[in-house]
Every structure is written in structure tokens, then in C-alpha cells.
Amino acid sequence: MANRMAAKPQTEQKHPDEWNQDLNPDRLAGQNIGGTAEDRERMTRTAYDVKPVHGALRDMKDDELKQIPILDPGTRLRQGATYLDLERGAFTATGEMSVHADQAVVPKDGVHYETWNKLTGTERG
């Protein structure tokens, strides 16, 4: 059991404390070794809260809008995860990607599949 939480190479600090921030300002950025990005995604605004998005999705009911998370600007996206930029469409994130101030981004795993299909226009009539 002592080996169950073996340290990952990415978590090792390679430089002295006094230089670490200068040499590695975004040390674990893009690494899929922790739950930080996922935790931030769970505590986001919703489409109901973001007025431009609320207006753009006026065909959806308020209770549906309250179930659609909109990631905050600056949120780092998880490598390999699927997201929807409400203006540009669906995409798969790479490790260096984060949400820009002019984007309204929805994580695919943060919404019900029927809501995702409605957002992406792939719902069946």
C-alpha cells in the first residue's frame, strides 16, 4: 500500500525554491495529473447567468439554461476533452488551451447528452 500513491515525474520540483517560479511559471499547465481543472469547471457560471449567452439561446427554457455551465475566462481546458465554443463550434482541447475573455465555452461532460445535441444542432426532430 505504500506504493499506491507513487509520485509522478511531473510533480517533482526540479529547481531551487528561489528560482522555481521564474524557471517554471506554469509548471503543471496542461498536465492531466490532478483534478484542479475539473474542480474549477464544476464551479462555473451557467448560460442563465451570462446575459449574452442567455439571449443567444432564447429558444431554451430557463431551467435548461441553468444546467449549462459556461467556463470562466482563464480556465485551463483539459487535454483531450471535448468542449463547445458557442460561436465557433465543438472542439477537442490540447494541453495549452484556456478560455479567452470573448469565448462562451461549455464542457461536453458538464451537460446532459440531449442538451449537448440541442446546443450543437444534432438533436433528432
Per-residue model confidence as pLDDT tens digits over 78-90? 999 999 999 999 9
| b/e code 57-66 from CB counts within 10 Å (16+ = b) | beebeeebbe
Q: Are 46 and 65 spatial neighbours (Cβ–Cβ below 8 Å)?
A: yes
Query: Quick check: helix, strand or coil at residue 47?
Result: coil
Percentage above 90 pLDDT, the chain: 51
- Reported as a pLDDT band with limits 50, 70 and 90, residue 22 is confident
- Reported as a pLDDT band with limits 50, 70 and 90, residue 38 is low
Return the C-alpha cell found at 2: 505504500
Among 7-11, 14-18, 25-29, 94-98, which range has the highest average pLDDT?
A: 94-98
72 vs 76: CA distance, rounded Å: 9
pLDDT at 60 over 80: yes
- Reported as a pLDDT band with limits 50, 70 and 90, residue 23 is confident
- Reported as a pLDDT band with limits 50, 70 and 90, residue 28 is low
DSSP 80: T
Return the C-alpha cell found at 43: 464551479
